[in-house]
Every structure is written in C-alpha cells, then in structure tokens.
Amino acid sequence: MDFTLLHTDPNSNARAGFITTDHGTIETPIFMPVGTVASVKAVHFHELKEDIKAQIILGNTYHLYLRPGLEVLEQAGGLHKFNGWDRPILTDSGGYQVFSLSANRKLKEEGAYFRSHIDGSKHLFTPENVVDIQRVIGADIMMAFDECPPGNAPYDYAKKSLALTHQWLKRGVKHFDETDGKYGYSQTFFPIVQGCVYTDLRKQSAEFVASLGREGNAIGGLAVGEPTHTMYEMIEVVNEILPQDKPRYLMGVGTPQNILEAIERGVDMFDCVMPTRNGRNGMLFTSEGIMNMRNEKWKNDFSPLDINGTSYVDQAYTKAYLRHLFISKELLAMQIASIHNLAFYLWLVGEARKQIMQGTFAAWKKEMVVRLGRRL
C-alpha cells in the first residue's frame, strides 16, 4: 500500500491524495461503505461500482469469522473471490463488537473471550489470531484488535483500557510482520488510536501509534456517546501528532457534517453504517438536508427524490412513491434509500476532494455544513 499526498488546503488541515493497493486506487478523502457480512446491505456490487462509485468497502472480522467461517473463506480463495468484489477491502478487527456486544464478552490480558451472538458458542480473539483471521479473509487493509470504550468511560477505566490496547497493538504489529498474506497480493496493518475523551491519553496514544511507523493510522473510540465538539477536539489533538504522509482513518464516523469537519481537521478515510442503516429506516441524506421519508408531508410530493442527486434513483423515483414504499414496508424502499445515501456520501467526499484541489475547501465546507443539518 502506498499513500500520495496531492494537495493540502491553505486554510485548514484538509488534504487530498490517493492510496494505491494491489486491488486498485482509492482517492482521498474517501468514504467506505460498510459491508459487515461480505455484503453492503440492500445494494448490488454493480450499483456500488457504477452508480455509487464506491472505491473500497468494509468487511468485519468478527462477523465473517462466525459466518461463513474461515474454512469457507479460505476455500473460496479469500473474501474478494468469495463475494466478487475486486476492488480494495478493509476489515475491521472485531474491536467494535467487543464494545457493542459487551454483555457477551470478558476482557483479559491475552485477549477477549466472547460468546457468539448467533449460537452462544465460546471464542477467544487475541491480537495475533485476529491478524491470522484477516490474513485468511485477505483484506487489503486490516485493523488492529483494540478495545473501544464507551464515550462516558471514566478516566481510570480509559487509562487501563488504553494500556491494554497498546499492549495488543504491539503484539498485533509483531505478528503481522512475522506472517505473510495467503493470496499473492500485499496487505497492510493499521493501528488504532484510543484514549476516550481525555487529551493526555489521546496524545499519548497518538504518539505510540505514530512510533509504530505503519502505512496508515486509525482513530477509534469516537462517536460513541461523547459530545460532538469533544470528538472534534480529540481529532485535532490526535492529528497534530499522527504523521502527515500517512492516511488517517476515522473509524465509524459519521454524519455528513461530521465527515466535513473531520476532513477539515486532516482525516482521509471514513466508514459508517449511517447511510445504509438510516436509509433502511427511512432517512435520506441530501445536499439540502435530511428527510424522513415516512413523514406525511411527502404523501403528495411528486417531485424527484433529490434534484441535485447524482444517482439514477434520484431522478427515477418521486418522494411520494418512496414514502409509499416505506409505509408499505416494501424491500425496494430500502434499496432505493441505500443507493441514494451511499451515492450522496461518495459525492460529498468527492466534492470535498475537488474543493481541496482547487483551494476552495474551507468556504465550501462552511456553507455545506449549514445546509446538511437542515431538516426537510
């Protein structure tokens, strides 16, 4: 993997560049659709490529390990072969599941013992075997196994958790460097900054992560319940320390506004379930604001979904029709909303990139953030 920085905005820390992998190039800043179980929910790869223009998607170690399981993935020849997506894939390590499925797990120094949410069976994830699993999956970018504490974690807990995450990082890096990919193309390993909402812990973590000298670095443990302005502060603190010449990945974030704010602060990569999950639940993100498609006000609105929208669904379907589909619980509603939202997210980061290249990012972002927050 390689990162090339093309341009930095004169009025902010925003940057434009590209990442090259053995499965193709990724233009940054980028948004990566989430495909947890080897599928971006409700969306075909054809749409993902042609209409949404996704350049890289996510998979999830925890979910793929449980189902279909390593045997199937290895026999298939890796995840790219298994699901047919021939562009880059990034896999999350399962650290987030240690957070979101916290009732079913126990953390120890050696790793995380957990029970499967599918059948209750017992398993252990360690920094080492999570690397091994991601070798089998064959992700172009694999993530370190970390602990992602909640946004309201007290200082003492955050400190202890960070020590554990750093120890796991060390072991993960070592194991990654001692092993090879299985399918003939190169893989890379991103460590993750933690430290909750505490500036000193975030600084300490960013310094530790930077010292590992990896090809890219991630910021985790944000948008997990803390105030938004705190999240922005933490991004600033961390990005001051993380190397300029390596991509920075803000994990799990976020709303369109969050993404622009983070780009302004020097983040290059994003992923979030919001465009797909909220889309399935009836919410549309547009350049003019957000719409709840179940609202009665769209009942007789026969205008196109989004006149500024770049995907075919924006012109092909009306608001009244999409509302009808949601009210009727038709599956097509979720497909249309997912395609629209993902296309919008990809348009947003693509436009941000264009503005950075032109040197007009700051002014454009300032205006966009106001519009994006409106409720239509």
Q: Is 51 a catalytic residue?
A: no
92 is catalytic: yes
Position 135 contacts RNA (CB under 7 A): no
Give dist(CA 102, CA 91) in Å, integer: 20
Residue 224 as a binder of RNA (CB under 7 A): the answer is yes
- Rounded CA-CA distance 257/72 in Å is 39
For the chain, the straight-line distance linking the first and the last C-alpha, in angstroms and rounded, comes to 42
361 binds RNA (CB under 7 A): no
**Is 61 within 8 Å of 37 (Cβ atoms)?**
no
**Residue among 101 and 362 whose Cβ is closer to RNA:** 101
Q: Are 79 and 139 in contact, with CB atoms under 8 Å apart?
A: yes
**Piece of the chain touching RNA by CB under 7 A; list 72-80, 178-186, 236-244, 326-334:** 326-334
- Complex with RNA: residue 70 or 283, whichever CB lies closer: 283
Strand bridging mode 269-272 / 30-33: parallel
Can you tell me which of 133, 223, 336, 368 binds RNA, judged by CB under 7 A? 223
CB of 219 to RNA, least distance (A): 9
Q: Among 201, 263, 267, 274, which residue interacts with RNA (rule: CB under 7 A)?
A: 274
Q: Which is nearer to RNA, 106 or 354 (CB)?
A: 106
Residues whose CB is less than 8 angstroms from the CB of residue 346 and which lie 6 or more positions away in sequence, other chains included: 31, 52, 53, 54
Exactly one of 101, 107, 362, 369 binds RNA (CB under 7 A); which one? 101
Q: How far is CA 70 from CA 19, 119, 160, 165, 174, in A?
A: 28, 17, 32, 25, 22
Annotated catalytic residue within 9, 51, 146, 271: 271
The verdict on 255 binding RNA (CB under 7 A) reads yes
The residue among 250, 144, 234 whose CA lies nearest residue 196 is 234
Residue 24's DSSP bridge partners are 21
Active centre residues (catalytic): 92, 271
Interface with RNA (CB under 7 A) = 34, 36, 40-41, 58, 60, 63, 92-93, 95-97, 99-101, 103-104, 117, 143-144, 146, 148, 192, 218, 220-221, 223-224, 228, 251-255, 258, 271-274, 276-278, 280-283, 292, 294-297, 299, 327, 329, 331, 334, 375
